[in-house]
Structure 1
Amino acid sequence: MANTLFDKPLFLKKGRYIQELASLEDVFDLLDDWPVEKQGATYEVLVRACRLAAQGVFPLPAIRENVRRFLMREGVLANIEEVPLGAKYTNDRNLGS
């Protein structure tokens, strides 16, 4: 596979956790783990597009956009603002001292 990193990662809500999707490989892992009962036509089209992207036929930015739309449709796309930042919760305390 050629360069498969996205220009900006996507974030997926997984229960109480956030998963980063930064590459085509991350998307393949997501699709492999996607529940069978939720694998409809949109899922199948996305899988085919990802396979074409892995072959260098389908543009990576288009894959990222399609994954973003898929996650949004499924209600699991997390906004970057929802991702907690460690520094935000340290209350300016120096944890190293």
Structure 2
Amino acid sequence: MADHLFDAPLFLKKRHYVQELASLEDVFDFLEDWPEDERDTTFEVLEKACRMAAQGIFPLPAIRENVRRFLIKRHMLANIEEVPILARRQSDQNIGS
């Protein structure tokens, strides 16, 4: 799924840590862990769009934006300044440079 990497990762606030969403695979893992009793229409639409993106039907930048909006709506999007510097450096590394 290397071709399913976002241009820039998203960070979401968990109870005791910050989780990075850097790829479509990360989003699938996040959605899989979402509580079943909180899976509303917005969740279902996002999940369907992710499946379409995995098939190459839906553009990856649009998935990233929709995930960002999903996290904002649920007050889960972490401010980049809240993320420890080490985590930011590791995600900013470019392989092969």
Do they fold alike, i.e. is TM over 0.5?
yes
Between Structure 1 and Structure 2, the one with more helix by share is: 2
Q: CA deviation at 1:72?
A: 0.5
CA spacing shift, 1:72–1:2, aligned 2, 3 Å: same
Q: Alpha-carbon deviations, 1:13-69, whole Å to 9, x = none? A: 011200000000000000000011211000000000000000000000000000000
Contact 1:2 1:54 in 2 (8 A): no
SS at match of 1:76: coil
How many residues align structurally?
A: 86
Q: CA deviation at 1:12?
A: 0.7
Alignment RMSD (CA, Å): 1.2
Contact 1:2 1:56 in 2 (8 A): no
Matched residues in 1 for 2:41 and 2:47: separation? 10
Between Structure 1 and Structure 2, the one with more strand by share is: 1
Report runs of 4+ in structure 1 exceeding 6 Å deviation.
Answer: none
Alignment gaps of 5+ in structure 2: 87-97
- If the length of structure 1 is used for normalisation, what is the TM-score? 0.85
Q: 1:17-28 residue pairs with structure 2 within 5 A?
A: 17-28=17-28
Per the alignment, residue 79 of structure 2 pairs with: 79
Per the alignment, residue 92 of structure 2 pairs with: none
Contact 1:12 1:19 in 2 (8 A): yes
- If the length of structure 2 is used for normalisation, what is the TM-score? 0.85
Structure number, greater radius of gyration: 1
Q: 1:1-20 residue pairs with structure 2 within 5 A?
A: 3-20=3-20
SS at match of 1:68: helix
CA spacing shift, 1:56–1:2, aligned 2, 3 Å: farther
